[in-house]
Amino acid sequence: MTTADSNSTDFVRAKVIEDLAAGKFGQRVQTRFPPEPNGYLHIGHAKSICLNFGLADEFDGTCNLRFDDTNPDTEDQEFIDSIEADLAWLGYTSSSETKYASDYFQQLYDWAEHLIEQGLAYVDDQDADVISAQRGGFGQPGVESPYRNRTPEENLALFRGMRDGEFADGAKVLRAKIDMQHENMQLRDPILYRIRRSQHHRTADSWIIYPTYDWAHGQSDAIEGVTQSLCTLEFSDHRPLYDWCLEHLDLPHEKPEQTEFARLALTHTVLSKRKLAAIVADGTVDGWDDPRMPTLSGLRRRGYPASAIRAFVDKIGVARTNSVHDIELLESFVRTELNESALRRMAVLRPLKVIITNWPEGEELSVEAVNNPQNDSAGTRKVPFSGELWIEQDDFKLEPPPKYYRLSPGREVRLRAGYYITATDVTTDEQGNVTEVHCTYDPQSEGGSTPDGRKVKATIHWVSAAHGIGRTVNLYDRLFTDPHPGADGADPLASLNPQSRETLTGAMLEPALGDVSPGQVVQFERLGYFAADLDDPAVFHRTVGLRDEWANIQKRRQAG
């Protein structure tokens, strides 16, 4: 058995070490990741995944994937498949076959009957709105249901009638009988079962009553032998109910213990599955795996490496209080990873034609370019060069502003891995827009150096017009303009950015980019990191830019 490194020991790991030292749970460490299959996983779930599976790995324990599939109205096999794919992509494998809360429906039902027989649960005929109103509020007394004192025999008969379809949906619920005056609202006779005639993705119509999360969660943990049940802080108030349910049952293993930790939150990001589902449904985004989405599937399509996400989660650590992290910090981990691994390629997103007037007519050659200056083993490649090139429109100014060092009339620049060129003339359209730049080149400057050793102040990228391939490139801005969507009670969707994506259909890329694999990320020199789409590698998504915005944020904070 291993123990966590003392330099990385957070309060959760410290508790595990303490439990092991005390001989709790028979020296076992068993965790679980229990998502509800009602949407795709998002970046916030990555923290829970890394914590649960990481603990199991560090302490020679086990961790299971278990779906909390207790609400058939919102669950779908599509979500199950996507969650399993996300888990594998992050690099984790369940210690056993995938488990489901629905595996335990019969046992959960039997335990519910046990509570009824002990006088600890009752059937209530009131609807959800009345029950909610009767619970009162903080500092306000609760009102006991008029059905609270039914006999165990009557409750048992009614509960079996609920199971057997004798009552309409919503006509009755099963509630725990705890304390309607308890200061913790979760203990004011919570609902354990409701009637719901919906087709379940696994049990079909075998059941028409379904357990609530609070009834299914702890008992599923106990059935599986979970030792550390890790939840985010919003479930802190649920812990007394978690314990209450388990204390009144004859469990097959030791009673698991729930521990809460701070969830992951990012600026310019919404992690409510309900809100994300809404923008999927209304077509604001192209689906759960749209590269603008904070879902793991969306980040994967955008080109985020799984290793960068794991490193980010490790960096922010496990805390007891919620906080919001700058999205630029996550992007810095992505940029650092890709800087080491991504091949360099040249692409022109907004092409402007350059004609080299003194280039030998019809001649074509190849120049040698470095694949990754951070990795010598990546080697070099040959890039075709000709007398007509594409450059970025921004790399030429007919009337350059101050401190503009790129191409302009009479100015010389270096072409990446190519030659020095000097602008001599332009062609314009009827509106005065530059459509072609005429240049001369220095034949003795091949590779970017000259016999006289002269220097230029700018190097620009290019693509041979005769060899370039046309591709579609998507550029992305923040999906939400507000750094804190939904702050002060506002609707977070009110800050959706209508210009979160710009699609360029006329980009020209060097020929090597015609052979990329789906999902492969390359650096477009001077432009950023771009991922070939997982389904159509002729489409590229900008993953992150080259500028380290996180470093700039840190400098501003230190200065201010």
Residues identified as active-site:
36, 263, 273
Q: Report CA 246 to chain centroid distance, whole Å.
A: 33
CA 538 to chain centroid:
24
Q: How many CA atoms lie within 13 A of 66 on its CB side?
A: 29
Distance from C-alpha of 50 to C-alpha of 41, rounded to nearest angstrom:
13
Q: Half-sphere exposure of residue 252, counting CA atoms within 13 Å on the CB side?
A: 12
Cβ atoms of 65 and 31 closer than 8 Å? no
Q: How far apart are CA 11 and CA 46, in angstroms?
A: 19
Task: List the Cα angle 405/411/412 in 5-degree steps.
Answer: 90
What are the residues facing 422 on neighbouring strands? 412, 440
CB atoms within 10 A of CB 303: 26
Per the CB < 8 A criterion, the answer to whether 510 and 346 are in contact is: yes
E strand intervals along 322-433:
343-345, 347-348, 351-356, 365-370, 380-385, 388-392, 412-415, 420-428
What is the rounded CA–CA span in Å between residue 523 and residue 532?
11
Q: Which helix (H) or strand (E) holds 553?
A: helix 549-559
Count Cβ atoms below 10 Å from residue 118 Cβ, excluding itself.
Answer: 12
* Token digits of residue 25: 């749970």
User: Would you say how long the chain is, in residues?
Assistant: 560
Residue 440 contacts residue 422 (beta carbons within 8 Å): yes
Scan for tokens 């779930």, then name that residue.
45
Q: Which long-range contacts (CB under 8 A, 24 or more apart) does 310-316 make?
A: 310/46, 310/50, 310/90, 310/91, 311/337, 313/46, 313/47, 313/50, 313/51, 313/264, 314/8, 314/50, 316/47, 316/264
Who contacts 346 (Cβ-Cβ below 8 Å, separation ≥6)? 369, 383, 416, 461, 462, 463, 509, 510, 524, 525
Beta carbons within 8 Å of 111's beta carbon, 6+ residues apart: 219, 249
Nearest to 394 by CA among 405, 386, 385, 379: 405
Dihedral sign for Cα atoms in the order 165, 167, 172, 175? negative
Amino acid at 404: Y
Nearest 10 degrees: Cα torsion 7, 13, 17, 22: 150
Tokens at residue 538, please? 């002729």
